[in-house]
Amino acid sequence: MRDLLSAELFDVFFYKEKAKVSLNRKREYSALSFRLSSKNARFIYNGKNIEAPSGSICYVPMGAEYKRTCEKDELIVFHFNESFPVKNEIVVFESKDTEKHRTLFEKAEKIWNAKEIGYRYKAASLFYEILSELTSEGMLLSNNTDMDVAKAIDIIEQNFNNADFRTEEISEALYISETFLRRKFKKHTGKSPKQYLNERRIEEAKKLLESRYFSQNEIAEKCGFSDVKYFRTAFKNATGMKIKDYMLSL
């Protein structure tokens, strides 16, 4: 099974400060950081004091409000948006292979700031390598994550670009009833499997449209739409815009 976390990376940077207290309020993105060097760095969150020593990895979920204090703090941070719930609280944990993760974080930060052609993809590949390891070890999964829902999302991720794929296949693969899966899926994501699949296809279509490299016919095929006419209709229903108007708005 592939990673249970689907995320979009949009920033990587090195951060350094001394003797500071900062208050953070409901940021619209999540953060994953590696402490290169720290002294008395800690998060004050939900009445808890969470230590963040050198060599530790820290996950801060979207929307968290917290205070951070330190005498010294040097770290590399990934900022990203996630499309599947992971931990819903600040978590600091020791890496099982500190040097490996330090190298991955440092390499990603170097690539991101060099801004050479393809840097986003190169940095994102390192980011996903880190997420893969942390998720497989259970460090990022929410305590209330439902494994059937996680597996269903994974199946959708692997098959959304196949026009012949139907959500009924998910329950068959998981050996549970379609009604049971739909109820669990809606509880944990707020959407039905079919809604999630359609949104995933539209999300991918937007990225390909923004590249201005593919025709509408090609995008329809790559995103699992049976034909371009259906793609255009689905896009307008989802966004309220015709494709040509969406392109003009970019």
Answer CATH for 147-249 from 1.10.10.60, 1.20.58.100, 3.40.50.10110, 2.60.120.1360 = 1.10.10.60
181 CB contacts (<8 Å, ≥6 apart)? 148, 152, 170, 171, 174, 193
Q: List the one residue out of 216, 197, 141, 129 whose CA is nearest residue 121.
A: 129
With 50 as the cut, is the pLDDT of residue 143 above it?
yes
> What pLDDT shows up at residue 137?
65
Q: Note the pTM of the prediction, 2 decimals.
A: 0.59
With 80 as the cut, is the pLDDT of residue 139 above it?
no
Least confident residue range of 18-32, 67-81, 130-144: 130-144
Q: Higher model confidence: residue 190 or residue 32?
A: 32
CATH architecture type of domain 7-136: Sandwich (2.60)
Domain boundaries, the chain: 7-136, 147-249
Q: List the one residue out of 139, 54, 148 whose CA is nearest residue 89.
A: 139
Burial of 174 from C-beta contacts in 10 A (0-12 / 13-18 / 19+):
middle
Are 149 and 159 contacting, i.e. CB atoms less than 8 angstroms apart?
A: no
> What pLDDT shows up at residue 2?
38
Number of H helices, E strands in the chain: 9, 7
